[in-house]
A = this chain, B = another copy of it.
Amino acid sequence: MASSVIPKSVNPDLQKERDGASFNSEEFAAWWAGSEKELKFTRGVRDYLHKDVNLDEMLQIQNMSHEDINEFSIRTSIDAAKKLRRLQEERNPGGDEYWPNLYDNKVMWGLTPAGNPFGVMYVMLVKALQAQCTPEQYEEFGKRMEKFEICGTYAQTELGHGTYLRGLETRADFDPKTDEFVLNTPKISSYKFWPGGLGHSSNHCLIMAQLYINNESKGPHMFFIQVRDEETHEPLPGVHIGDIGKKMGFIGVNNGFLGLKNVRIPRTRMLMRHAKVNADGSYVSSPANVLTYFAMVRTRCVIAQNNALVLAGAATIATRYSAVRRQSPINPKEREPQILDHVTQQFKLFPEIATSLAHRLASDYLWKLYDATIDDIANGKYDRLPELHSLSCALKVTCSSDSAAGVERLRLACGGHGYLTSSNMSNLYVAATAACTYEGENTVLLLQIGRFLMKSWRSALSGAPLAPTVRYLSEVQKNPEFGTWTGTWENMVKAMEYTAAYKTRLAFKSLSNRLSRGESEGNAANQTGIEFTQAAELHGRAFIFSSFTTEVTGPNSKNRSAAFNRVLENLLELYLVKETLNQLSNLLRFINLTDTDLTRLQDRLETVLTKLRPDAVAIVDGFDFSDLQLNSTLGSFDGNAYERIFDAVLKNPMNQKLVPKSFHQYLKPFMKSNI
């Protein structure tokens, strides 16, 4: 729908920024996408998917009722699936690189602004089936799911249990007489709760339940069950299923609840690639317990990368808006400047741009480690698993919590209009913060990392070799003195590693003291919990410092133009300086920085903000989001923010009539009665 109040031209303040940049944002875009070829491919698919999408409708969804939003989401998700399928047929019939492989790819961004109810199905369920089914099982029902002949979700969390898998209450009792499992959620707290798409858009479900044979627990295992009739979609007997209601975000993915009462499934519906139950009731355990949880490791890699993109999206919106909004003269009698010229505004925007790069590069490394570990597993090698687990936790935590805080800072940087849902900033925030809780609550993960650090510290003390990402701990044990602060990037990386190691040592000491006072391991660990989480957080940050510095200063820089390298160097400088300042309370405890050093850091901060100022808009252009992906009245490529806000306002359903019903019903009678 074309609308008359939105100009067809680009806002001159924004055009001026693009014209004045010191580098080519297309070079940035190709680097960010992975290669020029990848960029071209992504843009091609995106253009195809975006055709015929109604932007006006997208901007109004927050005004709809919960039920209408959910209906809207099923429609738009199916529409997008059809487009990908058509693209596959057009370009390479019989293949799968478009459909279904791109359905959980970032190219889908923006097509389902209230969330994709079939997201969990492709991000987790199909992957879990591939990893946990026997070949026969995958042939029987895994493939049907992959082809979307049936639809489903992955259900682990219960109303009363999230974190602690061994506490799950859903049970699957083996009945050897009928060769079946009997599934039950015995209490309200045992109901499955939260899975995306469970409420109204799944007819099957993979659930985690306690396996019982002869009433003896064998721990949590996965079972594939049908919950609704394929023809009528009505719940099957014994199945109590529905939607859990409105949440902060993911407002269109019908997160659901599921109660089971004596639901019977064939024995062969337990996923048996690793652990097995035979017809005679004999049980064969998995060669590596950790394999059961491996689906979550991959999901954490997805989260780390995805949250870097959410932050980049928010930074794009806030930066473009800051270039077109003018407010408060810096010098009296001068024209009000672009708010991008206020240093405090730069201090809100640019660090988040730098952070999204830092997180993205760290998560690239994580994916490489993931792929290598997958190869190992295929060869029966499991020794990299603890490191992968720990690093995926660390980056999941840092990327989710920093991006949530960053998106919120960026939203606040948009002033009042950032509070409008049409800015999309609140939607990005609730997406970012949700990741702090799902797939391993952040504090729980930090405690796990903390325990891993304690183990690593103890191993290092005994002289055992450590995995690459914790090797710095043994180096600090060997050379306990940090040495001199020089403030070079390498020195700053080293400082963060030393600080993480010193915090680990402190936590280790507290833990040891408690144990030597006779406290139980559990109590001692609980009492040392705060120090565990602090050490774990620094461990994650030290890794990000290192991977960002390596990418910018390492051999890859040879493939980039000098102008682009200067921009990346500025972003690295900003990231290292602002994070060092953020972590000063830890650093200053262990590392000697003089007052001059500290003043110098503040100078460097202010200097690099000034350096980045002329390139800010070109950098976020390089993130290469389309208007539909940003779905924001403030952040469009043309920068016509006020007109777009106003246009969206006029299309708001409440403005289609002049006088609301409530005036005659409530307001007027009350006012009259006061005369």
A interface residue numbers (CB < 8 A to B): 5, 60, 62-68, 70-71, 74-75, 78-79, 81-82, 147-151, 157, 159-164, 167, 188-189, 191, 193-194, 199-201, 230-235, 242-249, 254, 257, 325-332, 334, 336, 341-345, 347-348, 408, 412, 415-416, 418-422, 426, 430, 433-434, 436-438, 441-444, 447, 520-523, 525-527, 529-531, 533, 581-585, 588-589, 595, 598, 602, 605-606, 642-643, 645-646, 648-650, 652-655, 658-668, 670-671, 674-675
Tell which of B157, B654, B658 touches A235, judged by Cβ atoms closer than 8 Å: B658
Given A329-B522, A412-B436, A668-B233, residue A419 in contact with residue B646 (CB < 8 A): no
Q: How far is the CA of A331 from the CA of B62 in the complex (A)?
A: 46
Known: A201-B667, A248-B426, A426-B430. 16 other contacts (CB 8 A): A66-B653, A70-B662, A78-B666, A81-B670, A82-B670, A147-B674, A159-B642, A161-B327, A163-B415, A235-B658, A245-B422, A245-B648, A248-B421, A415-B437, A418-B437, A531-B602
Q: How far is the CB of A630 from chain B (nearest CB, A)?
A: 17
A438 surroundings in chain B (CB, below 8 A): 416
**Identical copies in the complex:** 2
Q: Is the CB of A447 within 8 A of B344?
A: yes
Q: How far is the CA of A341 from the CA of B341 in the complex (A)?
A: 49
Q: How far is the CA of A67 from the CA of B196 in the complex (A)?
A: 27
Q: How far is the CA of A344 from the CA of B446 in the complex (A)?
A: 10
Q: Is the CB of A654 within 8 A of B70?
A: yes
Q: How far is the CB of A202 from chain B (nearest CB, A)?
A: 10
Q: Is the CB of A649 within 8 A of B242?
A: yes
A408 surroundings in chain B (CB, below 8 A): 433
Q: List 7 A-B contacts (CB under 8 A).
A: A63-B65, A78-B667, A164-B336, A167-B327, A201-B663, A243-B649, A246-B421
Q: Is the CB of A605 within 8 A of B66?
A: no
A667 surroundings in chain B (CB, below 8 A): 74, 78, 151, 201, 233
Q: How far is the CA of A344 from the CA of B433 in the complex (A)?
A: 19
Given A331-B520, A667-B151, residue A162 in contact with residue B415 (CB < 8 A): yes
Given A588-B588, A670-B81, residue A67 in contact with residue B232 (CB < 8 A): no
A159 surroundings in chain B (CB, below 8 A): 642, 645-646
A444 surroundings in chain B (CB, below 8 A): 328
Tell which of B148, B606, B650, B665 touches A670, judged by Cβ atoms closer than 8 Å: B148
Q: How far is the CB of A664 from chain B (nearest CB, A)?
A: 8
Q: How far is the CA of A529 from the CA of B330 in the complex (A)?
A: 11
Q: Is the CB of B658 within 8 A of A234?
A: yes
Given A63-B67, A675-B149, residue A649 in contact with residue B245 (CB < 8 A): yes
Name A257's closest neighbour in chain B (CB-CB).
B649
Q: Is the CB of B443 within 8 A of A344?
A: yes
Q: How far is the CB of A110 from chain B (nearest CB, A)?
A: 19
Name A654's closest neighbour in chain B (CB-CB).
B243
Q: How far is the CA of A164 from the CA of B335 in the complex (A)?
A: 12
Tell which of B336, B344, B654, B671 touches A149, judged by Cβ atoms closer than 8 Å: B671
Name A648's closest neighbour in chain B (CB-CB).
B245
Q: How far is the CA of A66 from the CA of B650 in the complex (A)?
A: 14
